[in-house]
Amino acid sequence: MPIQNKPDEKIFASNAKPREVDNFPDINRGWGFTFEQTGGIPTMEHFNALFKRNDEHLMYLLQRGVPEWSSTIDYPQGACVQYQGKTYRSLTQNRNQTPATGSQHWTLWGLTIADIPEVRPASLTAAGITQLDNAINSNAEDRAATPKAVKQVNDKVESNARSLNERIPNSKKSDVVNSNSSDTVATSRAVKTAYDLANSKQSPATTLAGYGITDFQLRAATGNLNDLRTAGIYSINSIHNSYNRPAEGVRQSQGFTGNLQVITGGAGNENWCHQIFRRHYSGEVYERWQTASNNNSWSEWKRTDNQDGLPIGSVVAFPKEIANPQGFLRCDGTTFAQNTYPDLYRVLGNKNRLPNLQRSDVGMMAYFPQDNIPNGWLTCNGGTISSTDYPELHRYLNNKYGANKLPNAEDRFIRNAGNGLRVGEKQEDAIRNIRGELKSIFGGDLYALYTTGSGVFEVTGRQANYSFGTGGHHEKKDTTIFDASKVVPTANENRPKSIIFKLCIKAKNSFDDVQFWIKAFGEVVNSGQLDASRLAQDLQQVRSEKANIDHTHTVAQITDFNPEVVKLINQHNGFTQNISTNGWTVLPNGLMIQWGVATTNDILFPRAFPRECFIVSHSKTGGGRDTRISNVSRTGFTSSATVIVGTTYYVAIGH
């Protein structure tokens, strides 16, 4: 039978006009229906409907490839169907048996990668998917070994084979304990025999004296340490029955016990002795020695461990991130208890006040001969400073030169305060008044004008006391000019001889990144939970931060009292404000009142009015003519006068 070509995809009568196709009345009976309806003659409409139905079924098969499963169809064994996106093949003849994985009637057919997990696992009796496994000690029968597992088994086999080759044969083992052979190996029996022999030769003595050693002691001791002059190591465990210990009388109550090492002078120097005391639970080491043959002539105990390499009283700078270095106290000028730090007290000349090295150089001023100024300095140019970047300088200036402003010393000479001059006061340029007088007197002679002078003007020479010139009365002089440049250097400003430097202010402390500490004691090791050294530093910290118990603070001493009270009032009353020389208040209804002091004509409000400025009123110190306000806006205004004297004070109201 020849192979058929792919049919076209047209459906018979799919484009039929109305009434050219009619539903076939009875599919199951077939053409027999025509005897009742059309006299046994099929109509065009029914032929079209029949062929259209056939083509639709063929197109369904062309589109699907495999038909969808139906619960009403009988499927023979080997039939293929689609169900929920998967293809199945029947294992048995069945009807109304839903295809599913694990069903006895259907099996997956035409698998995709995603369908693989649904395939049943393999077993000894059934094919399927097998999981790989690296284990080499498993009894499972449903998994497959990986090459790695096979290699591990192979490595063990080879290793065991090598071990068998390296075993010592019995012929090479020996129980002899006195053999010189290098070809045999001693057995455990030979080793025990040698051990028992060595043990039988061991002395039964348990003390040094048992071995005949009488010039060295290992024992506990009480009483006077001055009497311990036999070489040895003594345990000083009692603070009540022994004395002349290190620092006795100062640390008696602290249980200053330890181990004492005694070193003698040897033959001929029996009365010379050196003692080294190591304190219990500590690294502290003390030494002393006899200064004469008299048993009671001893030097003072001296601490010699010096664990950190620094003597007591040394001042060291640590990075500020180090809060409490072991063995140190902060150099903050406070006092300490003499009996707590006796060594530091002695080093400081029997004084209990710590040096104060917390002084800051922030706020000092200096001139620099270069435009490039060192780090930590700012130019005095009236610029803005940040309380975050320069908190100490910001607190020091305290808005003295305007809100968040530096002093502005540009193009100004510096003048010392005093005689009524206040720090921070600005003065404009001026000179002392220079006054003189020219007086013309008619002398009676024809065309003669006699001149007299006073002050800066002087008339000299009798021949020049009249104003006509040598050319006759037509050349008489009528103008006198005062010109200081004819006798002194002049310029468009008043100044002394000068050289230009850059005035700067210290903005960051030179030691901002470090703190100074003084060596107060060595390392303290505590057996309990209370850290005495840390407790001392914590007390110093608290003392530096807290006021005395009987101290009463004033409002001025509480740095954040006023702003916090203002904040609370604002939160309660619903308004905000800034109480300062140039300040403002915003009322709950949005009305804003601003005030300020200025020395310039163009004045900016402390804050811009959000909507408009209603009214501005001003006054000037020292008077002035024709004072007036112009250019009023939300951000400021212009205050001017024919003669401006002093400072402008203003109040503005807006919304």
Give kind and range of the element (H or E) at residue 328. Answer: strand 328-330
Confidence category of residue 536, pLDDT binned at 50, 70, 90 = low
pLDDT digits (tens, 9 = 90+) for 559-605: 666 666 666 555 545 567 888 889 988 887 788 999 999 888 888 99
pLDDT digits (tens, 9 = 90+) for 358-381: 778 888 999 999 999 998 899 999
CA gap 365, 378 in Å, rounded? 10
Q: Tell me the DSSP string of 450-508.
A: EEEEEET-----GGGSB--BTTBGGG--------GGGTS---SS---S----EEEEE-S
* Alpha carbon 68 to chain centroid, angstroms: 68
pLDDT at residue 429 in the model: 77
From the list 345, 344, 326, the residue with the least C-alpha distance to 523 is 326
pLDDT at residue 537 in the model: 56
pLDDT at residue 294 in the model: 65
pLDDT reading at 470 higher than 70: no
Specify the DSSP class assigned to residue 618.
Answer: E
CA gap 73, 80 in Å, rounded? 12
- Alpha helix (H) residue ranges in 38-104: 44-64
* Other CB atoms within 10 A of residue 650 CB: 21
pLDDT at residue 407 in the model: 92
pLDDT at residue 406 in the model: 92
Q: Please give the residue that has the higher pLDDT: either 617 or 436.
A: 617
pLDDT at residue 527 in the model: 37
CA gap 202, 190 in Å, rounded? 19
Cα 637 to Cα 130, 265, 500, 641, 643: the distances in Å are: 91, 98, 36, 14, 18
pLDDT at residue 473 in the model: 44
Of 150-164, 236-250, 457-471, the one with minimum mean pLDDT is 457-471
Confidence category of residue 17, pLDDT binned at 50, 70, 90 = confident
Confidence category of residue 540, pLDDT binned at 50, 70, 90 = low
CA gap 7, 314 in Å, rounded? 107
Cα 530 to Cα 281, 401, 527: the distances in Å are: 14, 51, 8
Confidence category of residue 649, pLDDT binned at 50, 70, 90 = confident
Burial class of residue 578 in the structure, from the number of CB atoms within 10 Å of its CB (0-12 exposed, 13-18 middle, 19+ buried): middle
pLDDT reading at 524 higher than 60: no
pLDDT at residue 477 in the model: 46
Confidence category of residue 285, pLDDT binned at 50, 70, 90 = confident
Task: For residue 508, give every residue at least 6 positions away whose Cβ sits within 8 Å of its Cβ, in sequence order, or none.
Answer: 362, 375, 376, 390, 392, 393
CA gap 107, 130 in Å, rounded? 18
Q: Please give the residue that has the higher pLDDT: either 328 or 577.
A: 328
pLDDT at residue 63 in the model: 81
Q: Please give the residue that has the higher pLDDT: either 462 or 340.
A: 340
CA gap 49, 52 in Å, rounded? 5
pLDDT reading at 535 higher than 60: no
Of 68-72, 83-87, 299-303, 482-486, the one with minimum mean pLDDT is 482-486
From the list 38, 41, 45, the residue with the least C-alpha distance to 24 is 45
Confidence category of residue 247, pLDDT binned at 50, 70, 90 = low
What residues does 618 pair with on adjacent strands? 650
pLDDT digits (tens, 9 = 90+) for 115-124: 666 666 777 7
Confidence category of residue 529, pLDDT binned at 50, 70, 90 = very low
CA gap 128, 545 in Å, rounded? 80
Query: What mean pLDDT do residues 265-288 have?
Result: 82
pLDDT reading at 258 higher than 80: yes
pLDDT reading at 230 higher than 90: no
Neighbour-count burial for 20-41, b at 16+ CB within 10 Å, e otherwise: ebeebeeeeeeeebbeeeeeee
pLDDT reading at 463 higher than 70: no
pLDDT digits (tens, 9 = 90+) for 484-515: 776 777 777 777 888 889 999 998 887 778 88
- Average pLDDT score, the chain: 78
- For the question of whether the overall pTM of this predicted structure is more than 0.75, the answer is no
Q: Please give the residue that has the higher pLDDT: either 442 or 380.
A: 380
Q: Which amino acid is at 75?
A: Y
Query: What mean pLDDT do residues 402-429 have?
Result: 85
Query: What mean pLDDT do residues 14-19 have?
Result: 84
Confidence category of residue 114, pLDDT binned at 50, 70, 90 = low
The pair phi, psi for residue 285, each rounded to 5°, is -130, 130
pLDDT reading at 554 higher than 90: no
Confidence category of residue 58, pLDDT binned at 50, 70, 90 = confident
pLDDT digits (tens, 9 = 90+) for 331-345: 988 999 888 888 889
What residues does 330 pair with on adjacent strands? 517
pLDDT reading at 550 higher than 60: no
CA gap 385, 495 in Å, rounded? 31
CA gap 173, 181 in Å, rounded? 11
CA gap 80, 77 in Å, rounded? 9
From the list 107, 125, 123, the residue with the least C-alpha distance to 115 is 107
Give ∠ CA 499-505-511 in degrees, rounded to 5: 130
pLDDT at residue 112 in the model: 63
Burial class of residue 583 in the structure, from the number of CB atoms within 10 Å of its CB (0-12 exposed, 13-18 middle, 19+ buried): middle
pLDDT digits (tens, 9 = 90+) for 201-226: 777 777 777 777 878 888 888 888 88
pLDDT at residue 380 in the model: 93
Q: Which amino acid is at 54?
A: N
From the list 562, 566, 611, the residue with the least C-alpha distance to 591 is 611
Q: Please give the residue that has the higher pLDDT: either 524 or 436.
A: 436
Structure tokens at 6: 């792919």
Query: What mean pLDDT do residues 449-475 have?
Result: 52
Positive/negative CA dihedral, 359, 360, 366, 368: positive
Q: Are 238 and 327 in contact (CB under 8 A)?
A: no
CA gap 344, 521 in Å, rounded? 7
Structure tokens at 534: 């840390």
pLDDT reading at 77 higher than 90: yes
pLDDT at residue 354 in the model: 92
Structure tokens at 595: 């005030």
pLDDT reading at 469 higher than 70: no
pLDDT digits (tens, 9 = 90+) for 595-625: 999 888 888 999 999 888 988 988 877 655 6
pLDDT reading at 71 higher than 80: yes
pLDDT at residue 475 in the model: 44
CA gap 58, 263 in Å, rounded? 118
pLDDT reading at 134 higher than 60: yes
From the list 144, 65, 143, 71, the residue with the least C-alpha distance to 109 is 65
pLDDT reading at 471 higher than 90: no
pLDDT at residue 322 in the model: 86
The pair phi, psi for residue 267, each rounded to 5°, is -60, 130
pLDDT at residue 528 in the model: 42
pLDDT at residue 95 in the model: 94
Going from N- to C-terminal start, the domains of the chain cover: 1-65, 74-116, 215-305, 449-486, 561-654
- What CATH number does domain 561-654 carry, 2.60.40.3940, 3.90.870.30, 1.10.260.40, 1.10.3720.10? 2.60.40.3940
Of 143-157, 251-265, 471-485, the one with minimum mean pLDDT is 471-485
